[in-house]
A and B are shown apart, each in its own frame.
Chain A
Amino acid sequence: MGILVFCDHDNGQFGAATLNAVSAARQIGGDIHLLVAGDTSGTIATEAAAIAGVAKVLVADGAEYAHGLAENLAPLICDLASQYSHILAPATTTGKNIMPRVAALLDVMQISDIIKIDDANTFQRPIYAGNALSTVRSDETTKIITVRSTAFEAALAEGGSATVEKIGNNGDSGLSSYVKSELSSTDRPELTSAPIVISGGRGMQDGANFAMLEKVADKLGAAVGASRAAVDAGFVPNDYQVGQTGKVVAPDLYVAVGISGAIQHLAGMKDSKVIVAINKDDEAPIFQVADFGLVADLFDAVPELEKELG
């Protein structure tokens, strides 16, 4: 039996995290099928068919799938479930929304946010904000899994030549409807896949001061993130939040500015390759995970950093 991977996309752009989920599926082993459900998802399906290692792309086209509504997507996935040993989705807000609904409809316990695959039945996942790692075995006939994207390399987006097959629709549940989105627009790389991330915390004092970080980010080709305190204070939008209950990042370089290093924040960034902390308090816990710590006032250090980068 094969593996079904749910493709996260916004009808225009293919979600990068899907590529990581495909890699996880390849590690499990078996024929990989990708489910592309959306409104006029034709271009996405073409992109999906090119992913290395994918055998087949299933396309469900309909307005009811345009906005990731779990009430419409879960029945669609459940109808396909009997053909697969595993159903995977990236642990994005879309995957997290839909997959537990699928699991309950199939009477299966979901395995959330896996970071390692021991064998086809055994998976490792972080618990307690990553302060413990739990290895669990599932003997369910269908394994329902969400995949933490930072723990798996992205599959190559090109080189594959999957067949594309249209499947039927289940219609609209009538339970929920999409109204509108308020998406943060930025020309910078996407937070969860950027090679460099620079994040600000409460120490930034207000939203306008994030301009200092943005200038550094632009020189480095970095994404900008934040701590919960910075988001709660309204300095930056919610989608900047890195941490246990925000986004998980693992870039080559993570720069934490005016962030104390609470465990909930560390949960979202401590797997970064190199960590830099800039904080005026030399006792701040962030220094315990930082490869390079600079004890300084950020209002001096950040502009200086920008200058040094030339």
Chain B
Amino acid sequence: MKVLVPVKRVIDYNVKVRVKADNSGVELANVKMAMNPFDEIAVEQALRLKEASGAEEVVVVSIGPAQNQETIRTALAMGADRGIHIEASHDIEPLAVAKLLKAVVERETPGLVLVGKQAIDDDCNQTGQMLAALLGWAQGTFVSALEVAGDKAKIVREVDGGLEHLEIQMPAIVSVDLRLNEPRYASLPNIMKAKKKPLDSLTVDELGVDINPRLTIVKVEEPAAREAGIKVADVKELVEKLKNEAKVI
């Protein structure tokens, strides 16, 4: 079985983003970028499947500007076998991403696609479900445990009330949650090796997909800041304030 892992390049999760002065978006220039943390978990899971002989090849795909090739190299350094880069603008929408991924799935015929549950920039939480819809495949979302056995997979999902166990038909789309695994770091020798691994480029035209945005961004704003509060001296003062000033208890 081949495993396909779509990885997104996003602003590093430690960076405090700034809104552009013209309210057209957030500042991306000279900002530290990284692989979407959920996608690192997806890559890790694909590698574990391969190491357990549950997968023959791990292919990563990233859609975005030329710099996304660095993100693909990171995944290759973790241990993925091959990369595919599809050139597009940074703010391509999940529906268009899902359509491009569908075209890649049709070429590559993977048995499993592992996506992140959400990209931490757009916070959309859509792409995996959309890809599953377009392919007519089963979807296992927000997954914290995965066990593939033949043409079925047993999954555990993180849901609002706790955990849910499902069995899904393969091939399937699985979107990974935080507790699935802890991603490995790439070692220096592996980073060197990754430079020689194959990385193909595909164009949107080649894949024949319309990626024109459906939504218009009217404006992007900074949220209202909270007013600075006070420090209380002790628990007594805290309780007194909550009772008499804030009146919340």
Contacts and interface: CB of A to CB of B under 8 A. Distances in A.
Contacts of A294: 231-232, 234-235, 238
Contacts of A110: 94-95, 124, 126, 130
A239 to B, nearest CB: 5
A232 B129 contact: no
Contact of A239 (B94, B122, B162): B162
Contacts of B162: 181-184, 237-239
Contact of B232 (A263, A273, A292, A304): A292
A295 interface: yes
A129 to B, nearest CB: 7
Contacts, number: 257
B105 interface: no
Interface in B11-60: 11, 13, 16-17, 19, 26, 38
A305 B133 contact: no
A179 B166 contact: yes
Nearest to A185: B162
A16 B137 CA distance: 31
A251 B236 CA distance: 22
A252 B179 CA distance: 30
Interface in B231-249: 231-232, 234-236, 238-239, 241-242, 246, 248-249
B246 A253 contact: yes
B9 interface: no
B130 A103 contact: yes
A133 B130 contact: no
A93 B159 contact: yes
Given A93-B159, A101-B139, A133 B231 contact: no
Nearest to A184: B162
Contacts of B11: 128
A16 to B, nearest CB: 11
B61 interface: no
Interface size, B (range): 35 or more
Given A140-B214, A239-B160, A244-B123, A175 B168 contact: yes
Interface string B120-148: 11111111111111100111111010000
A136 B216 contact: yes
A208 interface: no
B138 to A, nearest CB: 4
Interface stretch (B82-90, B184-192, B219-227): B219-227
Given A104-B130, A112-B125, A131-B17, A292 B26 contact: no
B242 A274 contact: yes
B94 A109 contact: yes
B179 A238 contact: yes
B158 interface: yes
B149 interface: no
A184 B248 contact: no
Give chain A's interface residue range (CB within 8 Å of chain B): 35 or more
B169 interface: yes
A137 B215 contact: yes
Nearest to A137: B216
Nearest to B222: A132
Interface stretch (A45-53, A157-165, A282-290): A282-290
B129 to A, nearest CB: 4
B217 A136 contact: yes
A301 B235 contact: yes
Interface string B174-187: 00011100000000
Contact of A101 (B130, B142, B217): B130
Interface string B69-109: 00000000000000000000000011100100000000000
Contacts of B213: 109
21 contacts: A101-B133, A103-B130, A105-B133, A108-B95, A109-B95, A131-B17, A132-B26, A133-B222, A135-B220, A136-B215, A174-B169, A176-B168, A177-B168, A182-B162, A196-B249, A288-B228, A292-B230, A292-B246, A294-B231, A305-B235, A308-B239
Interface of A: 10, 67, 69-71, 74, 92-94, 96-105, 107-113, 122, 125-140, 174-184, 192, 196, 220, 228, 231-232, 237-239, 244-245, 247, 252-253, 263-264, 270, 273-276, 282, 287-296, 301, 304-305, 308-309
Given A71-B132, A176-B166, A182-B162, 8 more contacts: A70-B141, A93-B157, A101-B130, A111-B215, A127-B220, A175-B168, A181-B159, A183-B161
